[in-house]
Amino acid sequence: MTQFIANILITATNIALLAVAFQLIYAVRRAYDFSFSTLYLAAPYIVLWLSRSVDLPFWVSVSVGLALTLALAAIMDVTLYRSLQTKRAPPLVTMLASFGVYLIAQNVIAAIFGSEARTLRAWGLAPPLEIGGARLTNLQAISTFCAICGVALALIYQRFTRAGRLLRAATTNVALATAIGIPIKRIITTGFLVAAALVTLAAILVGLEIDLTPTTGFQALVLAVTACLIGGIDNAIGAVVGAVFVALGQEAGVWIFGAQWSGTTVYALLLLVLFIRRSGLISGPNLRYGT
C-alpha cells in the first residue's frame, strides 16, 4: 500500500508539471494548443541530438537544449501565432494550425531519429532508495523534486508576479488591456516562453525515466488536458488537483487491470469527466452548447 501511495505521488507530480504547463499555454492562447506537444517532443530530441551526435556533456546538452527549445517557441510565436492573432482567428483555427505544426515536428523527428524508442539516459540506474517502506530510484526522487519546483514556479508566476497578473488581464479582456496600455504582444510572448520552459523541464524529466518515441508529445498532451479538464482549465491550482485524480486513476488502472490498460484508464476518465461535469471540479469554462 505504501508503494502504491508513493507511485501515485510520483506520477501526480509529473502530471501536475505537464498540467500547469498546458494550463499556462491555454491561458496564453485561449485554445487547446498543440504547441505543447510540439515543444514536449522537440526538447528531449534536441538534447538527445546534442548529447549523442554533437557529443556535448549531458548538462551542457540540457542547457543548450532548453535555449534552443525556447528559440523554437519564440519563432512559433512570432511567425504563426502573431499572424493568427492579427486575423483574430477563432480557437478552432488556432488549434488546427498548431496541430499542423505538431504533425510537421513529429514526422520530421520520426524521419531523422526513426520511430523506435530512444533514451536520454546515458548511465545505469543506481540501487533504489527506501523511504518509509516505499522503494524509489534516485532518478524518481530527483524528478519528483524538480517537478514540485516547476509546479511551484508556475503557480508563483501566474498568481504573484506582475507579468502573470498582466497576462491574466491581457487574455481576459484584450480591448481593455490595450486601452490601459498593457504591451499585449510582449506579455503573451513572455507567458508562452515560461510555458515552453516548463514543458521542456517536464519532457526532459520524463525522457530520463521513460523511452522517447515520436508519439510521446501526444501522450503527454492527453494527460495534461485530462488533468486540466478535471480540475478546471482556467485554474492552475485546479490543474494540480486534476493531476492527482489522473495519477490516482492511472495507478488504480494499472493495479486492477495491468500496465497495458494504463492509457485506456486515462482516456476513459477524460470521456467520463466531459460527460458528467464539463466545467471541471474546481472551476473553468462551461463547455456545453447553449448555456
Return residues touching other proteins (CB under 8 A): 30-32, 80, 83-84, 87, 89-97, 99-104, 106-108, 110-111, 115, 215, 218, 222, 225-226, 229, 233, 260-261, 263-264, 266-268, 270-271, 274-275, 278, 285-290
Least separation in angstroms between CB 76 and other proteins: 10
**CB closer to other proteins out of 2 and 83:** 83
**CB closer to other proteins out of 107 and 178:** 107
Q: With beta carbons less than 8 A apart as the criterion, state whether 184 and 170 touch.
A: yes
Least separation in angstroms between CB 226 and other proteins: 8
CA gap 182, 145 in Å, rounded: 35
**CB closer to other proteins out of 203 and 269:** 269
Closest among 263, 272, 202 to 16, alpha carbons compared: 202
The single residue listed with the C-alpha cell 488537483 is: 241
Least separation in angstroms between CB 142 and other proteins: 30
Q: Return all residues near 245 (Cβ < 8 A) that are at least 6 apart.
A: 227, 230, 231, 269, 281
DSSP 78: I
Q: What are the CA-CA distances from residue 125 to residues 136, 138, 146, 211 (Å)? A: 11, 8, 18, 14
Q: What pairing do the DSSP bridges indicate for beta strands 129-131 and 134-136?
A: antiparallel
Query: Strand pairing partners for 134?
Result: 131
Half-sphere exposure of 276 (CA within 13 A, CB side): 9
Query: Strand pairing partners for 120?
Result: none
Least separation in angstroms between CB 47 and other proteins: 21
Least separation in angstroms between CB 228 and other proteins: 10
**CB closer to other proteins out of 7 and 94:** 94
**CB closer to other proteins out of 197 and 234:** 234
Least separation in angstroms between CB 266 and other proteins: 8
Give backbone dihedrals phi and psi of 34, rounded to 5 degrees, phi first: -75, -5
Q: With beta carbons less than 8 A apart as the criterion, state whether 210 and 221 touch.
A: no
**CB closer to other proteins out of 58 and 99:** 99
CA gap 79, 182 in Å, rounded: 22
**CB closer to other proteins out of 6 and 28:** 28
Least separation in angstroms between CB 241 and other proteins: 19
Query: Strand pairing partners for 135?
Result: 130
Give backbone dihedrals phi and psi of 234, rounded to 5 degrees, phi first: -90, 10
**CB closer to other proteins out of 42 and 201:** 42
Least separation in angstroms between CB 21 and other proteins: 16
